[in-house]
């Protein structure tokens, strides 16, 4: 496993990270034993970056990770934790809270659920429109000084917000969706991060399984986020799966799977970009790890670009009700 520096101020992490969200119900039921076995397999393969959120399963994901890291495994990983999303007892979403006193509260609960004395990278999950980003980052900076947090990250924010946050405290990385069919960061956000020495943790590299090569029509069930995701809806889905078939032909010519090509493409966009794979089973993890053996030359990248042109995806990456909360989607 290759090790890379996460931005100019962040920690050294594995070149691929493991996103644990899907192990706590966001994509339908998950198997607890298999989830823990997958985390263990990731650590054995050299993955050191584990990503979670305190709202994944309303704390379930953090407690799952705590269980998986028993036996001295905590010292082998960097824990990335998102906070701020507000949920209700029915599992619904009710906004974001970035107030300094809320930051301290969220952090205290995460430390307890994870069973750790510090979090390696702590980040607001979204921008709270009612709280200046300077206040939120300032509160996390206080927790850095107190020793409870090692590094500060961001998630799904735009270029202006990134600059304002970085003026308060060094930012290790921005976590944001980036894949062959989600390339919005290339216009302003990625150049800003590179100017400021901020790394990228790219989630959604397989677009929630859509471009994994395994997705089939009508696979999303109740309780699965994808059941309401625009790109998985009738009309959009067929167009998007046609892109996958074009990618499949390229993958076959190179002796790789569609997922491996898609992950390798993200990694090929720069050493400052760390793909976050959302595997919740060992077989899917093994496939994702195989992407490290895929080397894409200029001809390969050109062929992939022809097969999946920028902006070729049908449908937005989130429902409109969620997009309005995403600072990264604002233009101008």
Instruction: Return the active site residues.
Output: 56
Please name the residues in contact with 286: beta carbons below 8 A apart, sequence gap of 6 or more: 41
Read off the DSSP letter of residue 27: B
d(CA 103, CA 143): 9
Contact 295, 222 (CB under 8 A): no
d(CA 249, CA 246): 6
Angle among Cα 208, 193, 295 to the nearest 5 degrees reads: 55
Contact 207, 285 (CB under 8 A): no
Contact 57, 32 (CB under 8 A): no
Read off the DSSP letter of residue 75: G
d(CA 78, CA 50): 6
Tell me the DSSP string of 243-312. HHHHHHHHHHHTT--HHHHHHHHHHTT-TTEEEEE---SHHHHHHHHGGGG----HHHHHHHHHHS-TT-
For the record, the structure tokens of 255 come out as 């002796």
């Amino acid at each position: 496993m290759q090790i890379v520096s996460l931005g100019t101020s962040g920690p050294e992490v594995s070149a691929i990270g493991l996103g644990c969200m899907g192990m706590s119900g966001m994509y339908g039921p998950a198997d607890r034993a298999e989830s823990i076995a997958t985390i263990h397999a990731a650590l054995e393969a050299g993955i050191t970056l584990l990503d979670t959120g305190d709202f994944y399963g309303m704390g379930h994901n953090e407690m799952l990770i705590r269980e998986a890291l028993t036996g001295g495994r905590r010292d082998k990983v960097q824990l990335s934790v998102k906070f701020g999303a507000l949920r209700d007892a029915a599992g619904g979403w009710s906004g974001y809270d970035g107030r300094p006193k809320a930051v301290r509260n969220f952090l205290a609960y995460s430390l307890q659920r994870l069973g750790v004395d510090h979090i390696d990278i702590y980040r607001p999950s979204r921008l709270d429109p009612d709280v200046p980003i300077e206040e939120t980052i300032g509160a996390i900076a206080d927790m850095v000084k107190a020793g409870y947090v090692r590094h500060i990250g961001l998630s799904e924010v735009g270029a202006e917000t990134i600059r304002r946050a970085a003026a308060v405290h060094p930012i290790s990385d921005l976590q944001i969706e980036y894949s062959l069919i989600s390339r919005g960061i290339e216009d302003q956000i990625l150049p800003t991060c590179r100017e400021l020495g901020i790394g990228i943790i790219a989630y959604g590299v397989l677009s929630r399984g859509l471009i994994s090569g395994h997705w089939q029509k009508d696979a999303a069930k109740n309780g699965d986020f994808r059941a309401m995701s625009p790109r998985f809806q009738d009309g959009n889905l067929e167009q998007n799966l046609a892109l996958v078939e074009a990618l499949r032909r390229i993958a076959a010519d190179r002796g790789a799977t569609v997922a491996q090509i898609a992950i390798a493409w993200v990694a090929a966009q720069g050493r400052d970009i760390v793909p976050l794979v959302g595997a919740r089973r060992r077989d899917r993890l093994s496939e994702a790890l195989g992407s490290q053996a895929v080397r894409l030359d200029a001809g390969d990248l050109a062929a992939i670009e022809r097969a999946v042109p920028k902006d070729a995806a049908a449908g937005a990456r989130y429902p409109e009700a969620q997009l309005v909360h995403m600072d990264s989607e604002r233009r101008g």
